[in-house]
Amino acid sequence: MRQILAAVEYCHNLKIIHRDLKPENIVFTGEGINSALKIIDFGRSKIIKHKQHITELAGSVLFII
C-alpha cells in the first residue's frame, strides 16, 4: 500500500491524476515477495493546470459507484 500511495503522491506532485486507479492497473515488477509495484494504464490520466477543478467522471464503471 505504501508503494501505491507513494506513486500516487509522486504523480500528484507532477500535477498528474490517473483517473482509473483499480487493482487491474497495479502490477508487480517481478515474482519475488519483495517485488516492487507499478501503476499502469495512464490512458485516462490528465495533467492538471494551476487551480483547475475536474468535474467530469472518469474511470471504470464498477469502481465509480
pTM of the predicted structure, to 2 decimals? 0.77
From the candidates 20, 40, 42, 46, give the one annotated as an active-site residue: 20
**What confidence score (pLDDT) does residue 9 get?**
97
4-17: burial string, b at 16+ Cβ within 10 Å, e else: eeebeeebeeeeeb
Q: With pLDDT > 70 as the criterion, what percentage of the chain qualifies? A: 91
Asked if 20 is an active-site residue, the reply is yes
CA-CA distance, 8 to 14, in Å (whole number)?
A: 10
CA-CA distance, 45 to 54, in Å (whole number)?
A: 12
Angle at 42 between CA 8 and CA 49, to 5 degrees: 70
pLDDT in tens, 1-30: 999 999 999 999 999 999 999 999 999 999
Q: What does CATH list as the number for 2-64? A: 1.10.510.10
